[in-house]
Amino acid sequence: MSKPAIVTPDPWLRLQSLTRARVALGRSGVSLPTREVLRFGTAHAQARDAVHQALDVQALQSELHEAGFNTCAVHSQAADRSVYLRRPDWGRRLAPDSADALAQQAPSLWPAAPKLAIVVADGLSSLATRSHAQPLLEALLPYFPELYRLPVVVATQARVALGDEVGHILGAEQVVVMIGERPGLSSPDSLGLYLTAHPRPGLTDANRNCISNVRPEGLPYADAARKLAFLIAGARRLGRSGVDLKDDSDSHALLEGDADLPALEATPPA
């Protein structure tokens, strides 16, 4: 004997093929059906875990080391996640012992005044960092074969602007911060890329260029690497990064017949 239908279905399921939005969910009385409450709860749980799970720095470093990169780990002035969420200003500065250690170790690990430094930062989603930073670095190798000798700094409790201080200490010409973005309900693992030329403390978002939503379901590694390499070359030509570079890179993209290059997102950094 089959059970009578308890949930009122929505006879417009077809709309689900037109959007990722949660349409045609049906209802139990006037409320959400159990299956949707569980589906939503799972998505929220994954997003929350992405925010709160600490980045496993040792594991990430050893993976990067095996892949051939020279890394070093630093920490911001935000002691833990709870402080990090309340004090974005502390997430933008290195802890004093980290700054000292970075300055001391740098000469033994990397050449002085590198053209490019990479900061791999946890940001608001360690899941994004752990999943996508290494594949993205490898996707960048065809553009930057010297990447194996350049600084790759793993940073925790970090905001985008932490890269300014790291780049400044290393004397880097440009810094790229690869950072976990604020997780969405259906995208807990988006990586953001921020390019800053002549990094030094005190710069603002206007000095950066951003590539957003890097993940296999969003902007795939190869496309992200191509866009980033393009921006890095553009910033080198222009002598600066930021708002001025955006228009320049778009017009170059068109000149090169690369019309399908997605528009660069100018979303504010974490």
Partner 1 sequence: MSYTCTLGLRRYAFGNLKNLLAKASPARSGDMLAGVAAASEEERMAARIALADVPLARFLQEAVVPYEEDEVTRLILDSHDTLAFAPVAGLTVGEFRDWLLSDAADADSLQALAPGLTPEMVAAVSKLMRNQDLILVAAKCRVVTRFRNTLGLPGRLAVRLQPNHPTDDPKGIAASMLDGLLYGVGDAVIGINPATDSLPAITTLLRLIDEFREQYDVPTQSCVLTHVTNTIRAIDKGAPVDLVFQSIGGTEAVNRSFGVTAALLDEANTAARQLGRGSVGNNVMYFETGQGSALSANAHHGADQQTLEARAYGLARRYQPLLVNTVVGFIGPEYLYDGKQIIRAGLEDHFCGKLLGLPMGCDICYTNHAEADQDDMDTLLTLLGVAGINFIIGVPGADDIMLNYQSTSFHDALYLRRVLDRRRAPEFEDWLERMGIADYRGELLPQGATQPLLALAGRL
Catalog residues that contact partner 1 under the rule CB under 8 A.
Answer: 8, 10-12, 14-16, 18-25, 27, 29-32, 36, 40-41, 43-44, 47-48, 50-51, 85-89, 124, 182-188
Helix (H, G, I), strand (E, B) or coil at 117: strand
Partner residues linked to 198 by β-bridges: none
In Å, what is the CA distance from 140 to each residue of 56, 217, 262?
23, 19, 18
The nearest distance, CB 261 to partner 1, in angstroms, is 16
- Closest CB to partner 1 among 151 and 183? 183
- Closest CB to partner 1 among 64 and 124? 124
The nearest distance, CB 79 to partner 1, in angstroms, is 16
Task: Report the alpha-carbon distance of residue 246 to residue 7 in Å, rounded.
Answer: 50
The nearest distance, CB 168 to partner 1, in angstroms, is 22
Other beta carbons within 10 Å of 45? 11
Task: Report the alpha-carbon distance of residue 222 to residue 62 in Å, rounded.
Answer: 23
- Closest CB to partner 1 among 184 and 220? 184
The nearest distance, CB 249 to partner 1, in angstroms, is 18
- Closest CB to partner 1 among 18 and 255? 18
The nearest distance, CB 183 to partner 1, in angstroms, is 5
* Phi, psi of 180, deg, nearest 5: -65, 125
Helix (H) or strand (E) holding 108: helix 96-109
Task: Report the alpha-carbon distance of residue 196 to residue 62 in Å, rounded.
Answer: 27
- Closest CB to partner 1 among 107 and 268? 268
Helix (H, G, I), strand (E, B) or coil at 184: strand
The nearest distance, CB 80 to partner 1, in angstroms, is 14
The nearest distance, CB 263 to partner 1, in angstroms, is 9
Helix (H, G, I), strand (E, B) or coil at 209: strand
- Closest CB to partner 1 among 52 and 115? 52
- Closest CB to partner 1 among 87 and 240? 87
Partner residues linked to 156 by β-bridges: 75
Helix (H, G, I), strand (E, B) or coil at 260: coil
Whose tokens are 């590694």? That residue is 221
Task: Report the alpha-carbon distance of residue 28 to residue 31 in Å, rounded.
Answer: 5
